């Protein structure tokens, strides 16, 4: 049953991406009907209604990104190290779905990916770069401040807005920041120039990786090998959404809200429960056993290594369709509803599994809504919940060393028991 429900959303996703019909690009409404119409999910397209921002900062200014800036963006992207296309990754549907849902709704809280060596964990995560949508940011701000949401503004930008200034707004791709295992705390959190502060009376702050990752993705490969003091830093930032650096009586704070994605091999050690609970979803990755699939993966990788540019170009159309799917799902997400009866059943599953805290309930609701938006539905179904609930709860169960059954199967058993009552 797990495989039946677990692959249904991905099957729909693949059927849309690999459709022979091209997507119209002249209007959002046409694209909506094309992707989320009868061909995609048996329904009709619908439009999300967006409210007005309490900070009407230069929506017009944001639209004034000129052609030269766009040309520079394209040239810069093409000059970067080639990334393996997300659409070209064979198998690993569970991991791919968890990553897509977090891109659609960053408030899900990230993904922990655990699996065998050489199963494409880091390749898949880094392939997300091409799919990440653009967001509005304040030009020149090192913290990627949101010009329309005060919760995502740095102290300096918020002060300027409250004074009536309209900072210049540009569009920028969501950042993906790699956190290396050997990084120092200063590199992660940022540093304060004490000498300049004492001599000139200025808070000279050099932002770190947490500042760069604000409103983006922070990826930690081999997260189970991360030093304890860096784990504590991540826990503090994940809990509060802010990073505070204090040195010699000088304190600097900045927003640090990010999607935390980690990967690792369970043979190399377990994560601390406090950090594990911070990940919204947990994906388990196994080695592909089918010989035909293994051959296909080897051939695809060989083609990419031989000619990365040509290989990426061959998947350009599928990548663009997937980008449009994500963009539309993000815009539809506020309109997706979940019935109270389903919410109660989700909480019953969490309670009967003895899940500590309420994060499991919250994440399951969010993930199910994100999946419904990806499929183009305005209401969450029981099937949507069945697809995501193992990934939302399996890492929150209390460990029983004598239990041999997979924790995801335990979650599904309890799900069917509760939902069939």
* Residues catalogued as catalytic: 359
- 369-388 burial, b at 16+ Cβ within 10 Å, e below that, comes to bbbbbbbbbeebbbebbbbb
User: Residue 181: left (phi > 0), alpha (psi -120 to 50), or beta?
Assistant: alpha
Closest C-alpha to 326, from 137, 135, 144, 177: 135
For residues 218, 220, 226 and 231, what is the CA-based torsion angle, rounded to 10 degrees? Answer: 20
Q: How far is CA 222 from the centre of its chain?
A: 18
Give strand pairing partners of 177.
218
Helix, strand, coil proportions of the chain in percent (round to 5)?
55, 15, 35
Q: Which of 49, 28, 51, 32 is nearest to 40 (CA)?
A: 32
**Helices marked H in 284-377:** 291-306, 308-314, 316-332, 340-352, 359-375
């Amino acid at each position: 049953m797990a495989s039946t429900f677990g692959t249904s959303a991905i099957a729909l996703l693949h059927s849309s991406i690999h459709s022979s019909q091209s997507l119209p690009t002249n209007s959002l409404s046409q694209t909506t009907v094309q992707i989320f119409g009868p061909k995609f999910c048996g329904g009709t397209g619908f439009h999300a209604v967006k409210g007005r921002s309490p900070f009407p900062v230069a929506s017009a200014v944001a639209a004034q990104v000129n052609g030269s800036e766009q040309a520079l963006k394209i040239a810069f992207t093409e000059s970067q190290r080639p990334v393996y296309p997300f659409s070209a990754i064979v198998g690993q549907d569970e991991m791919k779905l968890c990553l897509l849902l977090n891109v659609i709704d960053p408030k899900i809280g990230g993904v922990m990916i655990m699996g065998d060596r050489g199963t494409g964990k880091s390749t898949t995560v880094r392939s997300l770069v091409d799919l990440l949508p653009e967001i509005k940011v304040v030009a020149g701000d090192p913290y990627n401040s949101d010009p329309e949401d005060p919760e995502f503004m740095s102290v300096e930008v918020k002060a300027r807005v409250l004074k009536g200034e309209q900072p210049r707004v540009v569009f920028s791709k969501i950042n993906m920041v790699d956190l290396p295992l050997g990084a120092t705390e200063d590199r992660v959190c940022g540093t304060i120039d004490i000498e300049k502060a004492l001599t000139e009376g200025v808070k000279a702050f050099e932002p770190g990786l947490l500042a760069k990752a604000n409103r983006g993705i922070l990826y930690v490969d081999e997260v189970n090998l991360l030093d304890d003091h860096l784990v504590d830093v991540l826990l503090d930032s994940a809990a509060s959404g802010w990073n505070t650096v204090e040195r010699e009586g000088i304190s600097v704070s900045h927003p640090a809200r990010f999607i935390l994605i980690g990967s690792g091999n369970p043979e190399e050690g377990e994560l601390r429960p406090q950090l594990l609970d911070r990940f919204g979803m947990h994906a388990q990755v196994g080695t592909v056993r089918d010989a035909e699939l293994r051959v296909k993966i080897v051939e695809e990788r060989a083609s990419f290594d031989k000619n990365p540019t040509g290989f990426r170009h061959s998947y350009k159309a599928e990548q663009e369709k997937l980008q449009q799917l994500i963009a539309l799902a993000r815009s539809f997400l506020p309109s997706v509803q979940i019935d109270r009866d389903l919410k109660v059943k989700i909480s019953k599953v969490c309670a009967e599994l003895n899940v500590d805290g309420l994060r499991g309930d919250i994440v399951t609701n969010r993930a199910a809504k994100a999946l419904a938006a990806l499929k183009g539905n305005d209401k969450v179904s029981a099937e949507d919940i069945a697809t995501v609930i193992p990934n939302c709860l399996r890492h929150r169960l209390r460990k029983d060393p004598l239990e041999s059954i997979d924790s995801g199967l335990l979650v599904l058993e309890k799900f069917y028991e509760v939902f069939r009552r």
